Amino acid sequence: VSAGERPRAAVVVTGSELLSGTIPDRNGPWLSRELVDLGFEVAHVQVVGDRPDDLAAALRFAADAGCALVVTSGGLGPTADDLTADVVAAFAGRPMELDEAMRAHIDARLADWAARTGFGGEALDRATRKQAMVPRGALALPPAGTAPGLVVPREGGPLVVVLPGPPRELQAVWPAALDSAPVRELLTAVPPAHPRSLRFFGLPESEIAATLRDLGATRDLSGVEVTTCLRRSELEVDLRPGPSTGAVADELHVELAARHARHLVSDDGRSTDELVAEALLARGWTVATGESCTGGMLASRLVDRAGSSAYVAGGVVAYSNEAKTALLGVPAEMIAAHGAVSPQVARALADGARERLGADVGIGITGVAGPGGGTEAKPVGYVCFCLTTGDGRVLARDPRLPGSRADVRERSTDIAMNLLLRALRAGE
């Protein structure tokens, strides 16, 4: 399904170190997300090495694809392999000129550093001069590092926004690029994205596909772009309407939420982690974890968010049987009778963590992460979860999870977060 009616944009990421697999590209995905959120249809993300011909070809490719905007990343530094500004200038048919104000600006930024390190003089002057070269008629954006970003118009399009490579710098310069007159003018022609997002837990993609087929039988859904993606065990469904299909998107949004209400995490894009944090805060509850196979991953996930000290009491990694008994009071006889991986022990871990850490909710996890250690009764991927509260509520699960050791441990953490959300919602 395609939205069709949106202006197109492209991203060109430069850097030979990205092509060799030395470092993963962080700018392409970040910029795509930004452009999609602004309402563009992203035509492609190209990654090219530090070779002028390849960069020029990538720019032409984007122009030929009818892109109104191209954003480049990297190659703005002072070394010889930093050639983006030159190539973009040639692409736009604009000669390079020294921007004296920018040179003074970069000089001032580097003065302290040069004095401190002694790396001044001729070498620094040349570097500064190179970085202050701006295509005629282009706009230079104040640098976050030493290289300024550029906004370079081209006769007949596309507009090219040139950003520095280091992700922190790229993200720091981006708002100024958006705020520049040429980009603002371009944005007036971009219909706002207004995406509708739904998140589901425990729902296979095939169910969404079936619902869409069903709804598509009685109405035209072609003007709404539907993307589904599995992230942290949640099925994320994004509905992106075109300029004239907002009502259809709304209808889809409501129908999908209603038909799969049992698995719905949120219908406004909020994540499980966000919702758990909010619900714990709203109740004034604290949570404690007793983890075996996840080895602290759940506790780590719970403290990911700033301000988590308000609702996380703590966690205990009780990996050996002895640790389960000594640290969380799991009776040795219980382990002997039922096994360390059992619903009984999961419950004892939850109770032990909650009581010993003085929390309102306790969560216990024990499972066979694999690849070894599975038995017929308790195969690899068998994981027992239990959540207990001070007021006597108990929520338990013992699924068999697919995948590698890493998959099982990660998915276990996702399931525990979802269990916590369920418990918090149940008592609302």
Site stretch for ligand ATP (CB under 6 A), options 10-18, 97-105, 257-265, 406-414: 10-18
Site stretch for ligand ATP (CB under 6 A), options 14-22, 114-122, 180-188, 284-292: 14-22
Site stretch for ligand ATP (CB under 6 A), options 35-43, 68-76, 371-379, 384-392: 68-76
Asked if 28 touches Mg ion (CB under 5 A), the answer is: no
What does each C-alpha distance from 319 to 68, 205, 295, 303, 367 come to in angstroms? Answer: 56, 35, 7, 20, 10
Asked if 11 touches ligand ATP (CB under 6 A), the answer is: no
In whole angstroms, give the CA distance from residue 225 to residue 246.
11
Asked if 82 touches Mg ion (CB under 5 A), the answer is: yes
List the one residue from 5, 17, 185, 268 that touches ligand ATP (CB under 6 A). Answer: 17
Whose Cβ is closer to Mg ion: residue 82's or residue 169's? 82
Residue 167 interacts, among Mg ion, ligand ATP, none and using kind-specific CB cut-offs from 5 to 8 Å, with ligand ATP
List the one residue from 77, 241, 367, 381 that touches Mg ion (CB under 5 A). Answer: 77
Distance of CA 172 to the CA centre of its chain: 18
Is the bond preceding 158 in cis, omega lying within 30 degrees of 0?
yes
String of contacts with ligand ATP for each residue 106-145, x by CB under 6 A: ---------------------------------------x
338, two tokens:
């039922």
CB 221 within 8 A of CB 212: yes
Q: Is 28 helix (H, G, I), strand (E, B) or coil?
A: helix
Q: What share of the chain is helix, strand, coil (3-state, %, to 5)?
A: 45, 20, 35
293, two tokens:
């196979």
* Burial status of residue 277 (CB atoms within 10 A of its CB: 0-12, 13-18, 19 or more): buried
Asked if 75 touches ligand ATP (CB under 6 A), the answer is: yes
List the one residue from 49, 120, 157, 167 that touches ligand ATP (CB under 6 A). Answer: 167
Whose Cβ is closer to Mg ion: residue 127's or residue 183's? 127
What does each C-alpha distance from 374 to 313, 336, 378 come to in angstroms? Answer: 33, 17, 6
| Residues whose CB falls within 8 Å of the CB of residue 258, separated by 6 or more in sequence, listed in order | none
Asked if 410 touches Mg ion (CB under 5 A), the answer is: no
List the one residue from 15, 149, 158, 367 that touches ligand ATP (CB under 6 A). Answer: 15
CB 234 within 8 A of CB 199: yes
CB 72 within 8 A of CB 27: no
395, two tokens:
């929520």
**Cβ neighbours of 255 (radius 10 Å):** 14
CB of 73 to ligand ATP, least distance (A): 5
CB of 112 to Mg ion, least distance (A): 22
Residue 422, strand partner residues: none
The residue with its CB nearest to Mg ion is 77
Whose Cβ is closer to ligand ATP: residue 164's or residue 364's? 164
CB of 240 to ligand ATP, least distance (A): 25
* CA angle 427–232–228, rounded 5-degree value: 105
Whose Cβ is closer to ligand ATP: residue 22's or residue 206's? 22
List the one residue from 26, 51, 263, 422 that touches ligand ATP (CB under 6 A). Answer: 26
Region of 403 on the Ramachandran plot (φ > 0 left; ψ -120 to 50 alpha; else beta): left
Residue 276 interacts, among Mg ion, ligand ATP, none and using kind-specific CB cut-offs from 5 to 8 Å, with none
Residue 381 interacts, among ligand ATP, Mg ion, none and using kind-specific CB cut-offs from 5 to 8 Å, with none
Whose Cβ is closer to ligand ATP: residue 20's or residue 206's? 20
Count of residues interacting with ligand ATP (CB under 6 A) = 21
Q: Which residue ranges make up the site for Mg ion (CB under 5 A)?
A: 77, 82
Q: Which residue ranges make up the site for ligand ATP (CB under 6 A)?
A: 13-15, 17-18, 23, 25-27, 73-77, 82, 145, 147, 164-167
